[in-house]
């Protein structure tokens, strides 16, 4: 498979160039030249297979070429997801847990940092290591912005890559203490945590600007660990397949409810659908930072201020992956995407045509949850099932129940994505339940280890000098 830019007609690049590259031409994002498809019987034949085996089938058409053989891919998947590796603490990687007759939870938090981002980043780091093997001594600089969970998942995954430095920008104020400590206590002198005085959107904008400086990016060997990197999306699409295949063969196509910030996880569901997986609707669930909710309701993307919520990993107004969907929606024409994204940058808004808005509504549905609805959902799920869910998962379940009660989804089972372990958000859980779930044994040391953190103003020049100074290139 070759990869093209959402914003330019530049020549397509290989999977390796895409994975090691930064932004695509014209400041766009990479997207496959076409969507490979599986026939229904081919998907059905995967039933009962392991997560690694299903991943092999899904990833092959996107990744196999001269730089990655079938055997390489199987090896990397076994290193990441094989049951003897014990990177994930359940053999199925992403178990489907029934909540009621029609609703289940897809648990994605069984990796080392207890959020869904481990699943893709553990594979991404191994793939990058493979691509770089026996290559010149090019510096490798992983660079990313985090709203809370990406940072620690990236650090835990990428610290194993030879000679790599890792720079993670996080908003100084708006992440939970546990999330921060998971990053800042990581015992490696090659990990640099930068606390930016600003929001996640500020961090993401700084990272995008650094990545788009191609001479700097080349010199320092930047590799983005955010879902700017299409490999992340690709790996996440696997659990949509494994979840659908965990339902009885006779079941109607499921709808997936996905708590959303950067539109990455839900876009992975879209990739699964484009590949032929039968899905009722993909439900975009937001907190009060509801730019995506408003887009799917009205067809207009209009930026607003970010207001901190109980689900901090979704406190985002600029959802970078939406651009990939926009590319498909508007007929895969990079000129249209460039035009809309320029308008968004300059005026803070754009609108799609009525026909495109209707088309978007045939794939996606949407809902949102306030802070108080988030807390009351944590409480009612606990009262009804004894399960403690994290605030992001609660946003999804609030929306799932609301849409199910209003019969606004096609008939069929509902799968709600459980994105993080509740122990990462003790304060909000305490508000709902008057107790906090204990941190798993593996995480306890972070509470006392020293933190390493560099506060920096929201200033491109200072951030750039800091990183160049350390990488020394
Ligand atoms: C990252 C994250 C999200 C948002 O995912 P996107 O892919 O950015 O939409 C939601 N919940 C949790 C717990 C997360 O870590």
Q: Whose CA is nearest to atom 3 of ligand 1?
A: 313
Quote the pLDDT of residue 80.
Answer: 98
Please provide the average confidence, as pLDDT, over all residues in the chain.
Answer: 95
pLDDT per residue as tens digits for the range 246-275: 999 999 999 999 999 999 999 999 999 999
- Catalytic residue status for 117: yes
CA of 224 to the centre of ligand 1 (A): 17
Q: Which atom of ligand 1 is nearest to the CA of 148?
A: 15
| Residue 288 to residue 290: CA distance in whole angstroms | 5
Quote the pLDDT of residue 331.
Answer: 98
Is the CB–ligand 1 distance for residue 120 below 6 Å?
A: no
CA of 261 to the centre of ligand 1 (A): 6
| 331 contacts 262 by C-beta, under 8 angstroms | no
Is the CB–ligand 1 distance for residue 428 below 6 Å?
A: no
Quote the pLDDT of residue 162.
Answer: 84
* In the chain, % of residues over pLDDT 70: 99
Pair of tokens at residue 324: 């990939």
Is the CB–ligand 1 distance for residue 259 below 6 Å?
A: yes
| Residue 122 to residue 107: CA distance in whole angstroms | 17
CA of 416 to the centre of ligand 1 (A): 13
Q: Whose CA is nearest to atom 2 of ligand 1?
A: 313
* In the chain, % of residues over pLDDT 90: 90
| 330 contacts 336 by C-beta, under 8 angstroms | yes
Hey, which of 170, 262, 398 would you mutate to test ligand 1's pocket, going by the most ligand atoms within 8 Å of its Cβ? 262
Give residue 176's pLDDT band: very low, low, confident or very high (50, 70, 90).
confident
Is the CB–ligand 1 distance for residue 264 below 6 Å?
A: yes
Hey, which of 261, 306, 324, 418 would you mutate to test ligand 1's pocket, going by the most ligand atoms within 8 Å of its Cβ? 261
Average of per-residue pLDDT across 205-209: 94
* Cβ within 8 Å of residue 43, ≥6 positions away: 241, 245, 276, 277
Is the CB–ligand 1 distance for residue 111 below 6 Å?
A: no
| 256 contacts 283 by C-beta, under 8 angstroms | yes
Does pLDDT of 135 surpass 90?
no
pLDDT per residue as tens digits for the range 384-411: 999 999 999 999 999 999 999 999 999 9
Average of per-residue pLDDT across 174-191: 92
pLDDT per residue as tens digits for the range 287-328: 999 999 999 999 999 999 999 999 999 998 889 999 999 999
pLDDT per residue as tens digits for the range 344-379: 999 999 999 999 999 999 999 999 999 999 999 999
Q: Which one is catalytic: 2, 117, 345, 424?
A: 117
Does pLDDT of 138 surpass 90?
no
Q: Work out whether the CA dihedral 137, 472, 126, 124 comes out positive or negative.
A: negative
Is the CB–ligand 1 distance for residue 299 below 6 Å?
A: no
The CA distances from residue 216 to 7, 22, 220, 296, in Å, are: 21, 11, 6, 37
Quote the pLDDT of residue 473.
Answer: 61
Quote the pLDDT of residue 103.
Answer: 97
Pair of tokens at residue 56: 């092999």
Q: Which one, of 146, 181, 159, lies nearest residue 439 by Cα?
A: 181
Q: How far apart, in Å, do the first and last CA atoms of the chain sit?
A: 33
Average of per-residue pLDDT across 224-238: 95
Quote the pLDDT of residue 147.
Answer: 83
Quote the pLDDT of residue 136.
Answer: 63
CA of 472 to the centre of ligand 1 (A): 33
pLDDT per residue as tens digits for the range 305-314: 999 999 999 9
Is the CB–ligand 1 distance for residue 152 below 6 Å?
A: no
Give residue 133's pLDDT band: very low, low, confident or very high (50, 70, 90).
confident
The pTM of the full predicted model, rounded to 2 decimals, is 0.96
Does pLDDT of 134 surpass 90?
no
Give residue 174's pLDDT band: very low, low, confident or very high (50, 70, 90).
confident
Say what angle helices 177-184 and 149-158 make with each other, to 10 degrees: 20
Q: Which atom of ligand 1 is nearest to the CA of 419?
A: 13
């Amino acid at each position: 498979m070759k990869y093209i830019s959402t914003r330019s007609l530049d020549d397509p690049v290989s999977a390796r160039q895409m994975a090691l590259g930064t932004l695509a031409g014209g400041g766009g994002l990479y997207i496959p030249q076409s969507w490979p498809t599986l026939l229904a019987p081919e998907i059905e034949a995967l039933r009962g297979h392991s997560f690694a085996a299903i991943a092999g089938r899904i990833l092959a058409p996107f990744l196999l070429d001269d730089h990655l053989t079938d055997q390489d891919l199987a090896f990397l998947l076994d290193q990441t997801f094989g049951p003897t590796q014990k990177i994930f603490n359940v053999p199925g990687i992403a178990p489907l847990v029934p909540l009621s007759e029609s609703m289940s939870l897809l648990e994605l938090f069984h990796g080392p940092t207890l959020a869904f981002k481990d699943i893709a980043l553990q594979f991404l780091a191994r793939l990058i290591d493979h691509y770089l093997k026996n290559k010149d001594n090019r510096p490798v600089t992983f660079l990313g912005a985090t709203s809370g969970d990406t940072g620690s998942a990236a650090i835990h995954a990428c610290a194993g890559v030879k000679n790599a430095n890792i720079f993670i920008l996080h908003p100084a104020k708006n992440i939970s203490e546990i999330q921060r400590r998971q990053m800042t206590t990581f015992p490696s002198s090659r990990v640099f945590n930068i606390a930016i005085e600003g929001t996640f959107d500020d961090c993401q904008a700084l990272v995008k600007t650094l990545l788009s400086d191609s001479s700097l990016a080349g010199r320092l060997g930047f590799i983005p660990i955010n879902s700017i990197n299409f490999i992340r999306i690709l790996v996440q699409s696997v659990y949509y397949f494994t979840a659908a295949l965990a339902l009885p063969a006779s079941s109607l196509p499921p709808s997936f409810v996905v708590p959303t910030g950067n539109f990455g996880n839900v876009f992975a569901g879209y990739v699964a659908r484009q590949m032929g997986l039968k899905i009722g609707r993909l439900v975009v669930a937001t907190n009060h930072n509801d730019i995506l909710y408003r887009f799917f309701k009205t067809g207009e993307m209009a930026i607003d201020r970010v207001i901190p919520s109980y689900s901090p990993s979704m406190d985002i107004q600029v959802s970078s992956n939406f651009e990939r969907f926009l590319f498909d929606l508007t007929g895969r024409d990079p000129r249209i995407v460039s035009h809309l994204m320029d308008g968004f940058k300059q005026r803070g808004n754009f609108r799609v045509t009525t026909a495109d808005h209707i088309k978007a509504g045939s794939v996606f549905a949407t809902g949102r949850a306030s802070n108080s609805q988030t807390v009351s959902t944590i409480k009612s799920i606990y009262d009804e099932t004894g399960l403690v869910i994290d605030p992001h998962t609660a946003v999804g379940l609030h929306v799932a129940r609301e849409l199910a009660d209003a019969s606004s989804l096609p008939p069929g089972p509902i799968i709600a994505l459980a994105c993080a372990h509740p122990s990462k958000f003790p304060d909000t859980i305490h508000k709902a339940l008057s107790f906090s779930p204990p941190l798993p044994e593996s995480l306890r040391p972070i509470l006392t280890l020293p933190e390493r953190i560099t506060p920096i103003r929201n200033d491109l020049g200072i951030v750039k000098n800091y990183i160049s100074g350390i990488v020394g290139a």
